[in-house]
Amino acid sequence: MDFVTTTPRLCVTITAPTTAELRRRRDLAVEADLVELRLDTVSDPDVDAALAGRTSPVIVTCRASWEGGRFAGAEVERKAILRRALELGADFVDIEWRAGFDDLIAEFGPRIVLSSHDFDGVPSDLAGQAHAMRATGAGVVKMAVKASRLADCVTLLDLSRTFGADERFVLLGMGDAGLSTRVLAQRFGSAWTYAGSVRDVGQISARLLLDQFRFRSITASTAIYGLTGYPLGHSVSPAMHNAAFDALGLDAVYLPLPASDVDDFMAFAAAFGVKGASVTIPHKVALFDKVQDVDTLSRAVGALNTISVRDGQWSGRNTDVAGFLQPLRERKVRLPGCRVSILGAGGSARAVAVGLAGEGAVVTVHARDAQKAQAVASLAGGTVGAFPPEPGSWGLLVNCTPVGMQPKTDASPLPAAALGPGLVYDLIYNPGVTRLMRDATAAGSDTIGGLDMLVGQAQEQFEWWTGTRPSAGVMRAAAEQRLSEFNVDENHLV
């Protein structure tokens, strides 16, 4: 297989408790172009057994503990394992630059992946280090640095431009801020990307890389979109937007972009030509200063949740308002004159209040902080009410608090006795049916869950960016699938 190519390959990292299990997992990685066999993770490293019967190219790695690996034995023993792998014809063997195994590099140069891992950050002499590593004659230079900011990926992008077209290298940003170096390996000129379950370096699974981020279809012309905020935690937005790009056959990818501040986002966006982004806390307000064109709706809400590059300038919008109203319109709920009780007085309550005011609803805000409640009520020309609201005092009740969200799904912002006939709209989307919604149904209310709004605001964003309205069904299915994965495995990265 030719690894000097503009299309990066997919290397799946295989770890296991024993060599036998390593081999079994190796053979299950059918989606991989090559597999990295991490012999340092097994209790009984046996190179011959690990390599026997392989059907795809391999990198043999036996990472030293001083380089973030798990091999606890002597260096002489580790070196013998690596030499044996080379003698047995392993396609590549990973040798740490700091190991000083110069004789192996001299003897087996083209098959050596010379690696360096900096878990503290980007070393100040990164370019000098790259130069020294390239000068060794190793076939592939792999440099991995801890990425604490998106801007660290820009540093790696700049470094990639110093390599010649015939040089093979892999540049990686470790951690969530470095995800672009894995998904957009093509932009970095990396010979391959790594996928797997080594979460502490920021690896994501091959399935996520291939199915959600469509790694194999990313080219130099793929348009980049993303979600920015800090920290990002779990989000289903990448699943929704990438599924919609896929369904519509659009050459675009949507990434989580955890920017430590808005300047960090802007630096990344400029370097990679990001075309648009969803915005979440805390950048929803901070981005106002960076965006040249903000519409009146976003100003009324006091937050924007979507930005887009238009004619070389950033524009900002708020699609939460339209997303909130969409399910009400679909259900033909008559809002003019409707008595609406909003629970909570945070960011989403502001968007809900502005949306309801625009429809002529009569708004009362119920929140534990009277001052915040008054500020939200004034957005809708409404009033502040007691907490909890009187049963029968509202026709529509909107929960804008996080009470009842995963993992505290037994909680409800209201006692069941405070509910009655009407319509209850819970902005929470995980779980899909909250305790509040169950109690409301029992009290004779209709209900709407937060997933409808989440999909609605995402449809608005997508349409604003691309000019095409995506299918709600495609986005909803992708969100539901991703939410079910989060709930099973809390360790998922995005």
402 lies in the site for ligand NAP, by CB under 6 A: yes
For ligand NAP, the binding residue among 349, 365, 379, 474 (CB under 6 A) is 349
372 lies in the site for ligand NAP, by CB under 6 A: yes
For ligand NAP, the binding residue among 112, 177, 201, 367 (CB under 6 A) is 367
For the chain, the residue count is 494
Q: Say whether the peptide bond before residue 407 is cis (omega within 30 degrees of 0).
A: yes
DSSP letter for each residue of 360-400? T-EEEEE-SSHHHHHHHHHHTT-EE--SSPPTTS-SEEEE-
Nearest residue to 110 via CA among 78, 85, 141 = 141
> 2-18 b/e with 16+ CB inside 10 Å = b?
ebeeeebbbbbbbbbee
Q: Find the part of the chain contacting ligand NAP (CB under 6 A) among 42-50, 51-59, 76-84, 341-349.
A: 341-349
Pairing outcome for strands 92-96 and 58-61: parallel
Site for ligand NAP in 456-475 (CB under 6 A): 457
Q: How far is the CB of 284 from ligand NAP (least distance, A)?
A: 9
Nearest residue to 250 via CA among 464, 476, 470 = 470
403 lies in the site for ligand NAP, by CB under 6 A: yes
Tokens of 114: 């010379």
Q: Are 159 and 266 in contact (CB under 8 A)?
A: no
Q: How far is the CB of 475 from ligand NAP (least distance, A)?
A: 12
290 lies in the site for ligand NAP, by CB under 6 A: no
Q: Find the part of the chain contacting ligand NAP (CB under 6 A) among 18-26, 101-109, 225-233, 394-402.
A: 394-402
Q: Of the two residues 60 and 240, which places its CB atom closer to ligand NAP in the complex?
A: 240
Hey, what amino acid is at 34?
L
479 lies in the site for ligand NAP, by CB under 6 A: no
Q: Of the two residues 189 and 323, which places its CB atom closer to ligand NAP in the complex?
A: 323
Q: Of the two residues 269 and 349, which places its CB atom closer to ligand NAP in the complex?
A: 349
Is the dihedral angle over the CA atoms 107, 110, 113, 115 positive or is it negative? positive
Q: Which of 284, 290, 332, 372 is catalytic?
A: 284
Q: Of the two residues 159 and 448, which places its CB atom closer to ligand NAP in the complex?
A: 448
99 lies in the site for ligand NAP, by CB under 6 A: no
391 lies in the site for ligand NAP, by CB under 6 A: no
Q: Of the two residues 133 and 227, which places its CB atom closer to ligand NAP in the complex?
A: 227
Q: Are 386 and 393 in contact (CB under 8 A)?
A: no
Q: Say whether the peptide bond before residue 413 is cis (omega within 30 degrees of 0).
A: no
Site for ligand NAP in 254-283 (CB under 6 A): none
185 lies in the site for ligand NAP, by CB under 6 A: no
Q: Find the part of the chain contacting ligand NAP (CB under 6 A) among 94-102, 191-199, 245-253, 427-435.
A: 427-435
Tokens of 31: 């989606």
284 is catalytic: yes
Burial of 489 (0-12, 13-18, 19+ CB in 10 A): exposed
For ligand NAP, the binding residue among 189, 276, 347, 382 (CB under 6 A) is 347
Q: How far is the CB of 494 from ligand NAP (least distance, A)?
A: 16
- Expressed in percent and rounded to 5, the helix, strand and coil fractions of the chain are 40, 20, 40
239 lies in the site for ligand NAP, by CB under 6 A: no
Q: Which helix (H) or strand (E) holds 215?
A: none
Residue nearest to ligand NAP (CB): 346
Q: How far is the CB of 423 from ligand NAP (least distance, A)?
A: 16
Rounded to an integer, what distance in angstroms lies between the CA atom of residue 276 and that of residue 272? 11
**Residues near ligand NAP, by CB under 6 A:** 320, 323, 344-349, 367-369, 372, 400-403, 405, 413, 427-429, 450, 453-454, 457
